[in-house]
Copies of this chain bind each other. A is one copy, B any other.
Amino acid sequence: MLWSGWGDPAKAAPLPEGTAGLLRDLLGVRPAAAAPPALRALKVADPRLSGADLTALAAIVGDGNVRADAETRVRHTRGKSTPDLLRIRAGETSDAPDAVVLPGSHEEVLAVLGECAARRIAVVPFGGGTSVVGGLEPVLSEAGRTSTPHGAPAAPRGVDAFIALDLRRMDRLVEIDEVSRTAVLQPGLRAPDAEALLAERGFTLGHFPQSFEWATIGGFAAARSSGQASAGYGRFDDMVVGLTVATPEGALDLGRAPKSAAGPDLRQLVLGSEGALGVITSVTVRIRPVPEAREYEGWRFASFDAGAAALRRLAQDGPLPTVLRLSDETETMVGLADPSAIGEGASSAGCLAVLGFEGTPADVAARRAGAAEVLRDAGGEPLGAGPGEKWEHGRFNAPYLRDSLLDAGAFAETLETAAFWSDVPELYEAVRTALTGTLSEAGTPPLVMCHISHVYPSGASLYFTVVSAQGEDPVEHWARAKRAANDAIVDAGGTISHHHGVGTDHRDWYAKEIGPLGAAVLRAVKERVDPAGILNPGVLVPPAPEA
């Protein structure tokens, strides 16, 4: 993973020709002042761990698996939000972990947590490092550094150092149960490796979020990831039927049946817990046969409203495609659904919908024909396979494209939410207005694009992409715009995140979403499993109100 951007440098996605001019003319983008520094030029502060700390951790995981060199620490600093990238490109390493620890087993994770609780060292679980919500930026106690504006709950007094607990060594497919169609996966397994291992036995997870190439199984579970094919395969939390979790107070082993009436579903307390309630050490997931057929196609609708109504019909009455998404007018015009063609979208009036169908040939043919009937009846115009296949081809490209935009001096970021269908139109307008208003006020009027990325019978998610000039202080400008968007989301009745998670960035709005008693319940759970307060402090769990 590129330390200053996304992914594999060999896959970099240069901006299409002419885009620079478009960015300049449309958004006032100026070339970036300076290139990012070299990795070796970055300085990190001295680790705040003692030799005894490091020795004790090495005694658990082995000498080579406790690392405190600068490069390793920089590579585990924060996640991959645009502010994260801008800060690391500016050489800002104040959130670097004091060491990186690589456990090899559930037992080692338990032992590391016990040791860290005793030594008051915070622990930030690290999978693919792809968080875009500040999920890897703990808020330490007063003595500890933090560059973030987030307030309490800091870690308890004395917790002023942290390790990144990198789970990459726990990367096995432990077991496949072909009868039950489940697989036990370790948390550090990266998604492409999981798919490859499952494919050897004829199975797939079907989980393809934009972070697919780098994200891990544990991260998917901890952050309630949702993939591009969620209409067909479900969200990741739908796929999980079992979990083991290590906490400083012991382990949880959950899931004896797909569904149960034996009390609250504690699996659902671990899913979305973002490392604040424990470290997920194995995940049992539902798997499916590798589809024999895959077909993608495009449809055009006259307006976003008309397209949304058509998607709603498919979500409520079927037949449901495997992939189903709809770009608004701006995103369609810019051609973001096909990043290779940005700027070529002049002919793309209306709104582009992309549908994908995966399964047996007969099933694909039947669903595709059924969906076509519904979409035609809803005013859709079929565009054939082309736009669908282009989307499929570029489905993991957007983060690479963002790097190129940053290089060119533009600012680009995304955010997302979900709501019930009847709230979607107001939510859409409110977020657009908040983003456009705040960024225009800051002197960097943005292009705001949106697509419906996931659908359910009762609602849908909205995924926004913002591109603007960087302006004087893009991190601060964005923080203001993002706060306004978050307020708009909560006020319009949406959830603060449909699939990115809470982290530190969304925590204050999450607190509003679940209310004071919901936050108190979460704190009670956290205090029970993590009395020393070492697990990802400051992430997810809203602070107690001041007395």
> Are A418 and B260 closer than 8 Å at their CB atoms?
yes
List residues of A (466-524) whose CB comes within 8 Å of B's CBs.
493-502, 506, 510, 513-518, 520-524
Q: Which residues of B contact A461 (CB under 8 A)?
A: 257
Number of A interface residues at 8 Å Cβ cutoff, please give it.
Answer: 88
Q: Which residues of B contact A312 (CB under 8 A)?
A: 179
Q: Contacts A257-B459, A259-B418 given: A316-B181 contact, CB under 8 Å?
A: yes
Q: Which residues of B contact A524 (CB under 8 A)?
A: 524-525, 527-528
Q: Which residue of the partner chain, among B262, B513, B540, contacts A506 with CB atoms under 8 Å?
A: B262
Judge whether A54 is part of the interface by a CB distance below 8 angstroms: no
Q: Which residues of B contact A262 (CB under 8 A)?
A: 272, 495-497, 501-502, 506, 510, 513-514
Judge whether A174 is part of the interface by a CB distance below 8 angstroms: no
Q: Which residue of the partner chain, among B226, B421, B523, contacts A261 with CB atoms under 8 Å?
A: B226
Judge whether A223 is part of the interface by a CB distance below 8 angstroms: yes
Max chain B Cβ within 10 angstroms of own Cβ: one of A182, A256, A274, A456: A256
Q: Which of A1-9, A243-251, A335-343 contacts B (4 or more CB under 8 A)?
A: A243-251
> Are A521 and B528 closer than 8 Å at their CB atoms?
yes
List residues of A (267-303) whose CB comes within 8 Å of B's CBs.
268-274, 277, 286, 288-289
Q: Closest 4 CB pairs between A and B?
A: A268-B268, A257-B418, A258-B456, A224-B261
Q: Which residue of the partner chain, among B422, B457, B497, contacts A260 with CB atoms under 8 Å?
A: B497
Minimum C-beta distance from A266 to chain B (A)? 5
> Are B268 and A269 closer than 8 Å at their CB atoms?
yes
Expressed in whole angstroms, the Cα–Cα distance for A426 and B181 within the complex equals 18
Q: Which residues of B contact A68 (CB under 8 A)?
A: none
Q: Which residue of the partner chain, among B261, B454, B521, contacts A529 with CB atoms under 8 Å?
A: B521
> Are B266 and A521 closer than 8 Å at their CB atoms?
yes
Q: Contacts A241-B420, A316-B181, A458-B258 given: A264-B522 contact, CB under 8 Å?
A: yes
> Are A272 and B268 closer than 8 Å at their CB atoms?
no
Max chain B Cβ within 10 angstroms of own Cβ: one of A223, A260, A268, A515: A260
Q: Contacts A180-B421, A422-B177, A459-B180 given: A260-B495 contact, CB under 8 Å?
A: yes
